[in-house]
Structure 1
Amino acid sequence: MAKTNRGRFFEDYRLGEVIRHAVPRTLSGGERALYHALYPARHALASSDEFARSVGLDAAPLDDLIAFHTVFGKTVPDISLNAVANLGYAEGRFLKPVHAGDTLTSESEVIGLKQNSNGKSGVVYVRTTGRNQQGEAVLEYVRWVMVRKSDLEAPAPETVIPDLAKAVPADRLVIPAGLDFTNYDFSLAGEPHRLGDYAVGEKIDHVDGVTIEEAEHMLATRLWQNTAKVHFDATFRPDGRRLIYGGHVISMARALSFNGLANAQMIAGINAGAHANPCFAGDTVKAWSEVLDVAETAAPGVGAIRLRLVAVKAGAAPFALKGEDGKYLPEVLLDLDYWALMPL
């Protein structure tokens, strides 16, 4: 009997199936240090215990995307090991801060299936929940991924495409217990801009850029235990090039957004997201944001800002996104719609 696992193919998924993912992972300050070595992340609340205590938390949580990447990475062997590409995200909510010492596990439910017209692959929709050692949900999101078929003669499943919300309503965002921005120190945070300084429709060029290196991408992919073959194995793609892990691009763009959005301290929700075009080693990533909405919350001094974060290759036109045909321009790498918490 074979002992190894070649991963699931499209025909192996069943609607309503719940998959418990291996292996639990205990996070430490090591993940924070490596995260800040890989990305120019400087948001104060995740950087300083003292700053976190000044706004009502017991200690600095780990960067929100550390939790996201860890939970996501657990799912890869079961969901996207044989993926062609990760296609999108929706209905993401960060439900509880993750701290050093927490142990995270992941579980996914298959909520949609659609075979592609070529009969060689299909799209799998899953709702994933990450939990800590107390069984408390810390994160949930939907993603959909294109997965190869192994048996091309396997019958197509009934097509089910889930009806997903276009955005997480502001009143469904979860604010960490105790968070209080009434005595927020803007000087230590790095910029003076509060929620009222941003206008819906405003666009912000984050100015800086970072060239993606092969070694750093591979370190990030291993760090988050993302075993998808397209990231590891240069023989897996016809062009012999390894795709840069999409989470690497997300974190790079989020870190670059500090310049202009230093007070967008915590990610509270992910409304939508698309990896618009592949990224490869040697590409220089830049980023811009658009303010889509603003809202107050029940927490003292805490507001929510909805942002479109776009990562592009250097040399792209200012605020490049889509062409006249409605398709993403080839230099656009990421289009991410998310909520962040910011002082009023």
Structure 2
Amino acid sequence: MSEVQKSRQMAFPPSVLARIAPDVSLQRHLAIGLRPSLRNFTEFKSLEISQGNLNSLGENSVIGSAVAKNGDTSVFCGITLGIVETSGASPEYTSIYPVVEILRGRSGAPTDEEMITSQKIYESILHANIIPSESLKITPGYEIRDEENKTSSILYPDTPENISILEDIPSFSGNKKSYSFVLYAHLKVFSRSGPIFDLCYNTLLSALTNVTLPSIYIGDTSDKIKVPVRSRGNFGHLSGGDNLYIDSNKSLFHALKLQKNEMGYSSSFGVLDEIKPKTVVLADPEGDAEESCITSKINVITNKSGDSLKHVSICGGGANVSIDVLKESIRLAQLRSLHN
């Protein structure tokens, strides 16, 4: 080869080579026993999650939040609530409605990855039996106005004394409606560098443990409909209508009751046959090279103690997912749950 030809040879940085020739980049690293991210085959990225404290009331207020960083990827999760009228028997457990958004500097309709991830998170939390439906039921209070002193107070049917007062109110005795909270999660992903389900799922679970629910009362800002109420010799009125309001008294907030023993971690693995005859299991895939070349994938969700499997999914592809590979993936996922 002449000196001119040698001078024309191109050398690409590892990050560029991973984009233009991901298979070549991955094979080079696996041959020396490392991955493009320089992690060992069974090494997970460090996961740092911190909970927020955004309980200020107001329109679209956040009742629970968490921020997580996993490698180069960060996720912000904020949880908001809604109220629905319920009827009939409800299932024992419910879920949360997540919306995943990957920030790429563009706007438009959700991508397939965002919609599939959102649906999978909903199904995983529902079938893991984490959120009891009973914990979201609402026992509303009633706003009573004192016309003489031009003040109002809110009574909750949580004590025999309050119940005896409220039972004299026709609208209270005849109100057979039931209400329940509905939880929504908004997850924003920054600097995506690999599959996002694990990070979004783990961040959402952390945010759920940070949720505090407000008390709700029935009131009406109009002065048109009033029901006379007599309490302790004082004469007042109950606001009519079924308008629901959030009680801003922070002392009445209560933590969301969760089945914390059913909560755990989600872990993903890639399976490759690049080093013959050995099958390689790569924990926590990352980067363009690994993501584009790995077609066989395993996802495992275990509870916190690691002794129960909440979800296992296998996506077959270019590598053989044997029983031994599956056992190794489950073992690594259990170890991760125990040490986090």
TM-score normalised by structure 1 residue count:
0.25
Higher helix share: 2
* TM-score after normalising by structure 2: 0.25
* Structure with bigger gyration radius: 2
